[in-house]
Structure 1
Amino acid sequence: MDNKEVILLRKALDRQKKARVQAEKILERKSKDLYDVTLHLKHANSKLENLLSEKTSELDGVFINIIDPYVVMDLAFNVINMNLSAKEFLGYDHTKETINLEKLVHKDYMEYTISSFRSLLELGTLKNYKAKIYVKDGSEKYVQINCSLIYNKEHQPIAAQGIIRDVTREMEISHLLTEQKRQLDIIIENSPLSIALVVANKIVKANNTFKNLLGYSDAELKKLCLKDISFPEEREESNKLMTLMESGKLDNFSITKHYVRKDGTSLLAKTSINAVRDEQGVVEYQVAMIEDITEQRNLELQKEKLMKELEASNQGLQEYAHIVSHDLKSPLRSLSALATWLNEDYKEVLDDNGVFNLQMMQERIEGMDKLIDGILKYSSITAENLEYSLVDFNKIIHDIREIIFIPKHVNVIIMNTLPTINADKTKIHQLFQNIISNAVVNIEKEEGVVAISSLETDSHWQFSVKDNGKGIPKEYHEKIFKIFQSVGDKERSTGIGLSIVKKIVDLYEGEIWLDSAIDEGTTFHFTIKK
């Protein structure tokens, strides 16, 4: 090998050596970079592992501490995981037993549940699913569930997660409100009152009674305003009241007005309007209740007419009674005078039988005179001619004792202090005098007593007049209060006294009755309204 070749070889070796050194330096530098990257990746991986652990811990904490029941299930409804709230609510523990949520669903909701699960698979989420389920203790619960699907990295659904909310109380309230609304609708539809909902003077709903009363259908009523079924001359008053209601000055009012039926006829009705307001106090609608009083008003008018006719009739009867009494008493006086003259002029000629007959004639005339006076008194007892003043009943009894004939063997006594009442003095005097007179003439015992007492009730004064006379048979207890009915000696009784008593008691809205036993006595009870 010549020198030239040796030189070339050395140069080639030098270049190779230098290249190797340079490559080693590059490799050393890259190795360091690789080591640094390795250390960095190792550190980053450690941080990721720690972060993943933290996040996993956080997720576990969230899962465990969710307030509402939270469940994870596979696509066959088998529970994979559940939090404590779910365990407490459902009564099951997935770590101790297999739970299939489909088996908990009430049969009435099964078809709806299957349909809802299909929707979940199609859309990935399911909101506000509501159903009835059975929990472990056998009780029924209503639940609302919001859930979503869980996907793998190929975006295929592998499970579902959902939050359960117990809405049992809400559903019970909802069912109760629905039932109450149904019952209310039944009541309203079957109410004898016509009821309608009105918005801005338009009838939006009415019950059957309202529709039947006016003869319109639902569709026809919705096209009508209140003015369409009202009398034009009565609208002004209704409009004023409606304006006051709209302004908040009235919440309800009543008015009597006429309505026009579909067939053109009219009716008179008492109408009550009530406002239903929103939270701001604005009238949302009005509830109108209409009561047909056409027949009632006609009856009232007939009653008023009859009362006027009765008043005129009573007045005519009173006048007739006075005329008849005058016409009857005039010949009675003449007969009485003739009998007196005969007795005076022919007493020496008449035998005992003739004198007796004249005396009997006088007694009959006197009895007829009493009968006529009794009829006059009975016919004059009306509410119209009562004159009220404060009447001391104790003084009334005292005056009666001074006026009527009381046999020496009879005592009329007051058992307790009698009240002072606002009444017609003459009528009260008649009332007690007739009862006391009736009592004293029917006492045959050696020591006769007529005892008068009173007691106060909430609405009336009750009085009792008790005697120890002959007593009244039970079959006469009702009859004696009727005019011309009497017991015992009809020669001494007109049969009018106790009918006058009954009529006066009726005027004071009271009642009269008696207790009696033969040979023991009688007690008359009667009440007078305060």
Structure 2
Amino acid sequence: MYKLYGRNTEYGVQKISLWVDSLHPDDRARCERELQDAITGVRIFDTTFRILTPSGETRYLKAVAGSILDHAGVTVEMFGVNFDVTESVLAAQKQAQLLDELTRINGELNTFTYSASHDLKSPLRGIDQLASWITEDLGDDINDQTKEHLRLMRSRIDRMERLLGDLLAYSRVGRSVDDAVSVNTYALVDDIYDLCVSNKNFTLYRAENMPIVVTYKVPLELVFRNLISNVVKHHDKASGNIWISAEEKGNFIEFFVRDDGPGVSAEHQDRVFGMFQTLRPRDEIEGSGIGLALVKKSIESVGGRVKLESNGLNGCTFRFTWPSIVVAK
């Protein structure tokens, strides 16, 4: 006890006096009140407080004490133990400070992302409208080279708009405020296919045992939408096939999205999940390069994992796990 309080037994200070005199001024009234409550039997003495040592150092101690009562039930003596919890308290304070700072920074980033997305889209739409007017004004007098330049300009404006939208979606992943709902993944995949695959030369095969999960619908929908759209976008033929199935894996469902496209070589399989990554030139294929990064972040936000499997010659299989029941954070 004396060692914890930075004192020497030679001073002959009684323990209760040592405790009271060492209490931090801001904690003294509370601690004395809690001690009195313990003496009168109102509560057990179990508290954390600060002390000031003779050297001026502040320490955090935890004290737990019990009472010895006489035949009348009156406290005649107390006994207990003190623990030095300075390191754990300071660590918790530091953690709270870092979390507050991280929350503040994330809030600023979210505000910036939303503002940038909104403010940049307006001039982009104006440029696109201007290109459209130029095309209309020139009419039949427009030459092939100018027509191609205007087409490329509008194509890149469209790409930039989608990039801004995807950046906004990426910043929002993992912060769903919606309630978890029951989602029939068979019907979900069917709806996404009808929405995303206008070219019905691509055939969708769904397993009959596609599960019903209790989850946030929007993130799961985003995952399937990007994976199905990618098949059509990156396929090397005008027609193809998409197979989607699922298996139970404990508390998770493992989904498989497989295609018969050109495949992805081993050295590029991790790269595809990075931001702004495309394996073909941007002018050959429209995309922001964020789709699979969105997929990965959405899956990991609910505790799942995603993996790409391909022999690099024909076909890809995206495997990802998703909890059968999402637990609210």
Distance 1:301 1:374, change over 3 A: closer
1:294–1:267 CA distance, 2 compared to 1 (3 A): farther
Match of 2:108 among 291, 301, 313: 313
Q: Please say if residues 274 and 286 of structure 1, whose CA atoms lie closer than 8 Å, have aligned partners that are also in contact.
A: yes
Quote the residue 2:226 is aligned against: 434
Distance 1:457 1:265 in 2: 52
What is the aligned counterpart of 1:448 among 241, 247, 252? 241
1:267 aligns to 2:59 (yes or no): yes
Q: Distance in 1 between matches of 2:33 and 2:205?
A: 64
- 1:98 is matched with none
Is 1:516 aligned to 2:310, yes or no? Answer: yes
1:229 alignment partner in structure 2: 22
- Does the 8 A contact of 1:481 with 1:498 survive in 2? yes
SS in 1 for 2:180: strand
Alpha carbons 2:205, 2:243 under 8 Å: kept: yes
Partner residue, 1:150: none
User: By how many angstroms is 1:299 displaced?
Assistant: 0.2
2:157 and 2:84 mapped to 1: Cα distance?
A: 65
Which whole-Å CA distance do the structure 1 matches of 2:282 and 2:37 have between them? 68
Instruction: Say if 2:65 and 2:80, in contact at 8 Å, map to a contact too.
Output: yes
Tell whether the 8 Å contact from 2:304 to 2:320 is kept in structure 1 after alignment.
Answer: yes
Match of 1:419 in 2: 212
Matching residue's letter, 1:387? D
Structure-2 separation of matches of 1:238 and 1:248: 9
- 1:509 match: secondary structure: coil
- Matching residue's letter, 1:256: T
Conservation of the 8 A alpha-carbon contact between 1:229 and 1:260: yes
Secondary structure, in 3 states, of the residue corresponding to 2:170? helix
Contact 2:211 2:246 in 1 (8 A): yes
Report the counterpart of residue 389 of structure 1 in structure 2.
180
Confirm or deny that 1:457 pairs with 2:253. Answer: no
2:83 corresponds to 1:289: yes
Instruction: Quote the Cα distance in structure 2 between the aligned partners of 1:220 and 1:513.
Output: 68
Counterpart contact for 1:318–1:380, Cα < 8 Å: no
Corresponding position: 1:331 with 2:123: yes
Corresponding residue SS for 2:231: helix
Kept after mapping to 1: 8 A contact 2:255/2:320: yes
May I ask how many residue pairs the two structures share in their alignment?
309
Q: Which amino acid aligns with 2:314?
A: E
- SS of 2:203's equivalent in the other structure is strand
Any idea what SS the aligned residue of 2:149 has?
A: helix
- The TM-score with structure 2 as length reference comes to 0.78
1:262 Cα deviation from its structure 2 partner: 2.5
Deviations 1:258-279 (A, max 9, x none): 222222332334x25265989x
Offset at residue 309 of structure 1 (A): 2.0
Match of 2:294 among 493, 500, 518: 500
Give the deviation of 1:477 after TM superposition.
Answer: 2.8
Cα deviation code 1:401-459 (max 9, x no counterpart): 12112543422333222232132x2222212211221123233466422323242424x
Q: Secondary structure at the match of 2:243?
A: strand
| Counterpart in the other structure of 1:79 | none
Matches within 5 A, 1:157-306: 203=1, 211=3, 213-219=4-10, 223-225=14-16, 226-230=19-23, 231-240=27-36, 242-243=38-39, 254-269=46-61, 271=62, 273=64, 285-292=79-86, 293-306=88-101
CA contact under 8 A between 1:440 and 1:450: conserved in structure 2? no
Distance 1:504 1:221 in 2: 65
In structure 2, what is the Cα distance between the partners aligned to 1:240 and 1:417?
A: 64
Partner Cα separation in structure 1 for residue 311 and residue 139 of structure 2? 47
Judge conservation of contact 1:411–1:449 (CA < 8 Å) in 2.
Answer: yes
How has the CA–CA distance of structure 1 residues 351 and 422 changed in structure 2, closer, same or farther, with 3 Å as cutoff?
Answer: closer
Are residues 338 and 449 of structure 1, via their aligned partners in 2, closer, same or farther at CA, if it must alter by over 3 Å?
Answer: same
Q: Deviations over 1:469-518 (max 9, x none)?
A: 22222333333222212223433221111122222223223333322221
Contact 1:452/1:463 (<8 A) preserved: yes
Distance 1:221 1:319, change over 3 A: farther
Deviates more, 1:462-471 or 1:283-292: 283-292
Distance change in 2, residues 1:420/1:216 (3 Å)? same
Paired position in structure 1 for 2:146: 354
Per the alignment, in what secondary structure is the counterpart of residue 264 of structure 1? coil
Structure 2 equivalent of residue 376 of structure 1 = 168
Distance in 2 between residues matched to 1:432 and 1:499, nearest whole Å: 13
**Separation of aligned partners in 1, 2:246 and 2:198:** 19
Structure 2 residue matching 1:521: 3-state secondary structure: coil
CA distance in 2 between partners of 1:229 and 1:483 (Å): 56
Q: Distance in 2 between matches of 1:301 and 1:248?
A: 32
Give the 3 Å change call, closer, same or farther, for CA 370–311 of structure 1 in structure 2. Answer: closer
Deviation at 1:221, TM superposition (A): 8.3
Would the aligned equivalents of 1:276 and 1:287 in 2 still touch at CA under 8 Å? Answer: no
Letter in 2 for 1:360: L
Whether the 8 Å contact between 2:244 and 2:255 is mirrored in structure 1 is no
Shift of 1:291: 1.6
Using the size of structure 1 for normalisation, the TM-score is 0.51
Larger Rg: 1
Is the Cα–Cα contact under 8 Å of residues 263 and 316 in structure 2 kept in the other structure?
A: yes
Report sequence identity in percent. 22
Tell me the equivalent position of 1:92: none
User: Take 1:254 and 1:439, find their aligned partners in 2: how far apart are those partners?
Assistant: 62
Q: Deviations over 1:340-361 (max 9, x none)?
A: 3333333422333333333333
Tell me the amino acid that sits aligned with residue 287 of structure 2. S
